[in-house]
Structure 1
Amino acid sequence: MGAAHFPPYTQRPERGSDSGLLQQLADALNTVQQDYHFVLVPTSIPRRFRDLQNSRTDLAIFENPAWGWQHIPHQAVDMGLEDAELFVARRAQGRTERYFDQLAGKRLALFNGYHYAFAQFNADPHYLAQVHAASLTYSHESNLYMVQRGRADVALVTRSYLIDFLARHPASAQALLVSERVDQVYRHYAILRPQAPISAEAFAALLERLRSSGELQRIFAPYQIAVTSRPGA
């Protein structure tokens, strides 16, 4: 399973100790059966599809069809998990939800490599910097602090990460204004290379066992990641 830094799903997997949600999912998959063994293989957001094509990994997890993998030979499994990307600004007197209506002229703090709906899913750093005045980092936390300190006007943050961040930094809940507007909803898919040791059908069946037992709910619900029914299940 390819593991690219994507908090809270994966947390710096290249350091060899990942406590993110992907590791919890792999552990649950290994516990529920003995035919397959799931391990995390560190990769990166820009490299993850190349690693899949080169057979360095067998699965890319928590992917979405808008993120550029449709042309790659693959099998796709709808995981029945949904997250979202939210706009976050600093609280200020008189500032309301309408602040998020217009992004033009605002300094944006974005996660490098992410695909955003407001930018037509164009993840090119030069495009985002030049057209949308974006600062690009590899840290949601840094982007939120940039907003709090007035170095950026708006950050786009994954809802699951924001839930975790505010739980760890409760004072920030009073300092930040979170939009009701959603940039996009992530419908998560697993992408399997065609010659992977496990078929899409078998992987979907394992996920269904975890869904039926309540394991998916236990892992993902604390981060407000919706556990939904998989189409056709």
Structure 2
Amino acid sequence: MKSLPVRKAAGFLLAALACSVLPVQAAQLVRVGAAHFPPYTIRPENGADTGLLPQLVEALNRLQGDYQFVLVPTSIPRRFGDFEQGRIDMAIFENPEWGWKDIPHTSVDMGLEDAEIFVAQQAPGRQQNYFADLGGKRLALYSGYHYEFANFNADPKYLAQNYNATLTYSHDSNLLMVLRGRADIALVTRSYLSDYLLRNEKVRGELLVSQRIDQIYHHYAILRPVAPITGEAFGKLLQGLRDNGEMLKIFDPYKIAVVPVPHP
């Protein structure tokens, strides 16, 4: 057998060595917007990984190695601009009705449901019919949120003028306003109220919680059309978390319902 020239043999050897040490293809980076939206995301700008969104991202990263999900701090009003400019690839716990209609996107049904409910102070004779009419009542609302009773108009001036609303950036502050008589009704998410009452058991008997629901939060993920992950691929990852029980483990303690996702 004719031997290969030394130079050519060395070339083959170097090529083989190079192939043996080539790194595995790196996971694609997916940037997820993290806006303060308790209990889903809590003060992400402080760098603390607290809330349900960090737990979900950790579970997604444990599930597979093709994508690396990372949190990018944003805010409720700023997230639209960050999304359009490509600073974030995805917004989670959203609804297409909340200002996304004119922004190109793909929506993925997450199969999660929460609710926005009314809360007032307990008072003699006060019953559920107190929540039937909001006229003449002082409302404590969360700035930037889209409420169904206001036709999803989140403009602060509109809410203040038409609904006698005070807007803050804290559900705790809004509930304190109700407890101290500075507001008649606060609107909070069911998940947040559940967490609040666990932390403040002594005020449970001081609050009247409505059976009336302002809106059902049916959560979606909103993806940029050129995001590193497709809506179909992300939906399959979420199904993987449903199948292994992670979705229920993360969300059930906060009374966020894990519901069936209709197949396309």
TM range (shorter): over 0.9
Q: Map residues 107-118 of structure 1 onto 2, 5 A cutoff.
A: 107-118=138-149
- List alignment gaps of at least 5 residues for structure 1: none
Aligned match of 2:203: 172
1:154 is aligned to 2:177:
no
Larger radius of gyration: 2
Q: Distance in 2 between matches of 1:214 and 1:200?
A: 21
TM-score computed with the length of structure 1 as normaliser: 0.99
Alignment partner, residue 94 of structure 1: 125
1:168-197 C-alpha deviation (Å, 9 max, x unpaired): 000111110000000000110000001111
Q: 4+ residue stretches of structure 1 with deviation over 2 A?
A: none
Q: Note the C-alpha offset of 1:42.
A: 0.2
Q: Output aligned runs, 1:1-233, within 5 Å.
A: 1-232=32-263
TM-score (norm 2): 0.87
Task: Name the CA distance, whole Å, in 2 between partners of 1:31 and 1:188.
Answer: 22
The Cα offsets for residues 82-114 of structure 1, whole Å up to 9 and x where unpaired, read as: 000000000001100010011000000000000
Question: Is the 2:140–2:167 contact (alpha carbons within 8 Å) kept by the matching residues of 1?
Answer: yes
How far does the alpha carbon of each residue in 1:113-136 deviate from its partner, in whole angstroms, 9 at most, with x for none?
Answer: 000011111000000011100000
Q: What SS does structure 2 have at the residue aligned with 1:69?
A: coil
2:233 maps to a residue whose letter is: A
Q: CA deviation at 1:70?
A: 1.7
Structure 2 residue runs of 5 or longer lacking an equivalent are: 1-31
Amino acid in the other structure paired with 1:169: N
CA RMSD of aligned residues (A): 0.7
Would the aligned equivalents of 2:146 and 2:152 in 1 still touch at CA under 8 Å?
A: yes
Following TM superposition, by how much is the alpha carbon of 1:65 offset from its aligned partner in structure 2, in angstroms?
A: 2.1
Distance 2:128 2:144 in 1: 27
Percent of aligned pairs sharing the same letter: 66
**Aligned-partner Cα distance in 2 for 1:79–1:192:** 12
- Asked if structure 1 preserves the Cα contact closer than 8 Å seen for 2:96 and 2:107, the reply is no
* Cα deviation, residue 18, structure 1: 2.5
Give yes or no for contact 2:140–2:177 (8 Å, CA) kept in 1: yes
Paired position in structure 1 for 2:19: none
Count of residues in correspondence between the two structures: 233
